[in-house]
Amino acid sequence: MRTDTSPIPALNPELAGRVAVVTGAAQGMGAVFMEELARRDIHVVGGDLDGDRMAAVAEKVEGVGMRMDVTDPADHDALLARALDAYGRVDFWINNAGVFPQAEFTEIPPDQLTSTYQVNVNGVAYGGQTAARHMRDHGGGVIVNMASVAGVRVRVTRAAYNSSKAAVRHLTSCMAVELGPYGIRVNAIAPGFIDTEMTRWVQEDPVALERALTTVPLRRIGAPVEVFGALYFLLSDSARYVTGAVLPVDGGSQHV
């Protein structure tokens, strides 16, 4: 079955004019989130390590782009400041940046563990802190963290990544409980096998691809726009009583 990239039809006109910050927004799902949000008249502010690519995405969607590193708390504050400068408020914060390193468990170098947790876990926590301090003082907001099916299902040679995404799931619960009283909803999305640079190596190896698809009941790779569908729901007022949830967008992979 082919990847379905047709547009997501959901309509939530109440979101027009709101402001979203997306990390890791220079490519992959983050860039698609920028495009799809902008298409719905939501103001977008993206941050990424790759400043040039980030600027190109921002220009395309008539939003704001900035080079930043999610492992540095000060960079999150700078990203917030850029958003406030441009649009005067921040309603949505999407902690999307992530890295996906590989190594057999016995060979994982210490710096792989450190850097993976720095980006995938600390990056989410720092972004959440920056967003929550602002939202707490401005009537609430919505934070969405990118987890993964790998947070519940083992992907071999990915122990650092798998465990970092398991941490994102629990961090999401912690944030939801502490921030709920301020009107801040915090949810996570757990994508499965999605068509981005992160999964290009599998897609280019027919044997690996066939093996990977045996773990997907829908027997196809997901499109970034299909992950956007879940994000859009979680940001919208349709999800106003949803917090602390981890929404799988994985073609059923979490069950295999």
Ligand X SMILES: NC(=O)c1ccc[n+]([C@@H]2O[C@H](COP(=O)([O-])OP(=O)(O)OC[C@H]3O[C@@H](n4cnc5c(N)ncnc54)[C@H](O)[C@@H]3O)[C@@H](O)[C@H]2O)c1
Binding part of the chain for ligand X, among 132-140, 171-179, 194-202, 234-242 by CB under 6 A, reads: 194-202
| Of 100, 121, 93, 115, nearest in space to 23 by CA | 93
Catalytic residue among 117, 161, 182, 232: 161
Helix axes 51-60, 28-39, angle to 10 degrees: 20
Kindly tell me which of 49 and 167 has the beta carbon lying closer to ligand X.
49
- Provide the minimum distance between the beta carbon of 16 and ligand X in the complex, in angstroms, as a whole number: 25
| Of 161, 134, 136, 132, nearest in space to 149 by CA | 161
What residues from 81 to 110 belong to the interface with ligand X (CB under 6 A)? 96-100
**Residue 193 sits in the site that holds ligand X (CB under 6 A):** yes
**Residue 48 sits in the site that holds ligand X (CB under 6 A):** yes
User: What is the identity of the amino acid at 95?
Assistant: N
Rounded to the nearest 10°, the torsion over CA 125, 231, 80, 133 is -50
Of residues 15, 20, 45, 49, which one binds ligand X by CB under 6 A? 49
**Residue 213 sits in the site that holds ligand X (CB under 6 A):** no
Kindly tell me which of 119 and 132 has the beta carbon lying closer to ligand X.
119
**Residue 199 sits in the site that holds ligand X (CB under 6 A):** yes
**Residue 37 sits in the site that holds ligand X (CB under 6 A):** no
| C-alpha dist (Å) from residue 71 to 49, 59, 117 | 10, 25, 9
Residue 188, SS3 per DSSP? strand
- Provide the minimum distance between the beta carbon of 17 and ligand X in the complex, in angstroms, as a whole number: 26
**Residue 57 sits in the site that holds ligand X (CB under 6 A):** no
Kindly tell me which of 102 and 183 has the beta carbon lying closer to ligand X.
102
Kindly tell me which of 136 and 153 has the beta carbon lying closer to ligand X.
153
Per-residue binding letters, 131-170, with ligand X (x by CB under 6 A): ---------------x-x----------------------
| Of 87, 93, 98, nearest in space to 26 by CA | 98
Active site residue 87: no
**Residue 121 sits in the site that holds ligand X (CB under 6 A):** no
Which two structure tokens, joined as six digits, stand for 250? Answer: 């994985």
Kindly tell me which of 106 and 171 has the beta carbon lying closer to ligand X.
171
Q: Interface with ligand X by CB under 6 A: which residues?
A: 23-24, 26-30, 48-50, 68-71, 96-100, 119, 146, 148, 191, 193-194, 196-199
The set of catalytic residues is: 161
